[in-house]
Amino acid sequence: MIEQQIRDLFAATADGAPPTPSQVDLRLARRQGRTRLRWRRGVMAGGSLLAAAAVTALLVAVAPGRMGAGPGPANPGPPAPSQFSPLVTNLSFGWLPPGMSIQQGGVLPTQASADVGSPAGSVAGWGAYVFSRGRCYVTRSARLLACPPNPPGGTNSVVLSGPAPSVAGHRAFWSARELVWEYAPGGWAQLMGPVAEGQTLRHLPALRATAYRIAANLHVGPDTPHLIFAERFPGLKGHWRLNDLFYVADRGTLQATQFVLLSDASRLLRLPRDSDFWTNAAYVLGSRALRDSTCSPGEASTTGTEVINGFHVVLKHETVDGESAHDLCTAHADGLAFGLQVFGPQTVVDVVPFFRHHVQLLGRNPAHWTQDPLG
In a structure prediction context, what are the per-residue pLDDT tens digits for the chain, which is 375 residues long? 222 222 333 233 223 333 344 455 544 444 444 433 332 222 222 222 222 222 222 222 222 333 334 444 555 689 999 999 999 999 999 999 999 999 999 999 999 999 999 887 766 789 999 999 999 999 988 999 998 865 444 456 789 999 999 999 999 999 999 999 999 999 999 999 999 988 999 999 999 999 999 999 999 999 999 999 999 999 999 889 999 999 999 989 999 999 999 988 898 887 766 667 888 899 999 999 888 778 865 555 557 888 999 999 999 887 766 777 888 999 889 899 999 999 876 666 889 999 999 999 999 999 999 999 998
| Cβ atoms 347, 280 nearer than 8 A | yes
pLDDT the model gives residue 119 = 83
Which residues is 327 bridged to in the sheet? 316, 341
Q: What is the DSSP string of 276-345?
A: -EEEEEEEEEEEEPPTT-B--TTSTTEEEEEEETTEEEEEEEEEETTEEEEEEEEEEETTEEEEEEEE-T
pLDDT the model gives residue 75 = 59
pLDDT the model gives residue 304 = 83
| Cβ atoms 175, 192 nearer than 8 A | no
pLDDT the model gives residue 267 = 87
From residue 75, alpha-carbon distances to 64, 72, 134 in Å are: 20, 8, 19
pLDDT the model gives residue 16 = 32
CB under 8 Å, gap of 24 or more: what pairs does 353-360 form?
A: 354/282, 355/308, 355/309, 355/313, 355/328, 356/308, 356/309, 357/234, 357/235, 358/233, 358/234, 358/235, 358/236, 359/231, 359/232, 359/233, 359/309, 360/231, 360/232, 360/233, 360/234
- At residue 31's C-alpha, the angle toward residues 337 and 41, to 5°, is 120
Beta-carbon contacts of residue 236 (< 8 Å; ≥ 6 apart): 261, 358, 374
pLDDT the model gives residue 46 = 23
Q: How far apart are CA 352 and CA 107, in angstroms?
A: 28
Residue 45, number of CB atoms within 10 A of its CB = 14
Q: How far apart are CA 266 and CA 251, in angstroms?
A: 34
